[in-house]
Amino acid sequence: MTDANGQQITPGWYPDPAGGGGQRWWDGIGWTEHVAPGVPAAPAPAAPLADPPAAGPAPYRGYATQWTRVPVGTKSDTVWVWLIVFIPLIGIFGLFFWDVQGYLRESMANPYGSSLSMMLDPWYLSMMVIGWVSYGLLVWFSYLDYAALGRLGFQRRFHWAWAFLWSAVYVVGRSVFVRRQSGNRGSGPLWAVIAVNVAAFLIALIWMIWFFAQVYEAVRGMPMTSY
C-alpha cells in the first residue's frame, strides 16, 4: 500500500479497510489478521518536501542571482579599453595642423573651385584617412577587449559590436557589466571616456570659433570690387 505521493506506508495500526470502526495492523507489505478496536492509528508518514525551485532569472527579482561575481582582485582594465578611450583625440588635435589660411587664400583666388581644392588638400585627405583608420581600430580594439575580459573570468560581457555606433557606447556598457561582476570596481574607463568626450567637444568648439575668425579676417581683407 502506498500513500498519495507513492511512498510505501510504514507498519502500524490503521483504520480497518473491512469497516467496523476498528484498527487493523499493516506490516508494511499487507494487512494482517490482528485487529484491535480503539487503538489509535499510527500517524501516516509525512510526504517528502519538494525540492525548492531553482533560482532562475526572474524579471523582477533583481540582478543579485543573475550576475556571477569574479574573484576579489580580478583585473578589469585592459590596454585595449584605454586605447578605445583616447584614440578619438587624435582626429580632434589634427584639426589644428590644417593650414586653414592657405586653404582660404586658395578659395578666395578661385571661389568656384573652393570645394574641390579642399577635397584635394593633402592635410584634409590625411585627416579623412586618419578618421576611418581610427574608426576601424576602435572596433578592433573593442573586440580584443571583449575577448580579454572573457579570459579574465567575466562571464557576462557587453558585446563589442556596440562600438560600431560610438566608442563611448561600448565603454559605458562595458563598465556597467564589469561593475556588476566585480563589486562596483572598474569604473575608471567610464569616467575617462566621459572626460575625453567633454574635452573633445570643447576642443572642437574652440577650433570652430578660431576657424570662423580666420574666415572673417580673410573676407575683411578682400579688396572691394566696384561694379
Classify residue 71 by its DSSP letter. Answer: P
Per-residue model confidence as pLDDT tens digits over 34-48? 777 764 545 555 544
Going by C-alpha positions, the residue among 130, 140, 33, 43 that lies closest to residue 88 is 130
Per-residue model confidence as pLDDT tens digits over 156-186? 999 999 999 988 999 999 999 999 898 877 8
Report the C-alpha gap between 94 and 129 in whole angstroms: 12
Residues 6+ apart with CB under 8 A from 6: none
Could you tell me the pLDDT band of residue 143, with boundaries at 50, 70 and 90? very high
**3-state class of 3 per DSSP?**
coil
Per-residue model confidence as pLDDT tens digits over 49-79? 444 444 444 443 444 446 788 888 888 999 9
Per-residue model confidence as pLDDT tens digits over 93-114? 767 777 666 666 666 666 555 5
Q: Is pLDDT of 7 > 50?
A: yes
pTM for the full model? Answer: 0.59
Report the C-alpha gap between 152 and 15 in whole angstroms: 66
Could you tell me the pLDDT band of residue 115, with boundaries at 50, 70 and 90? low
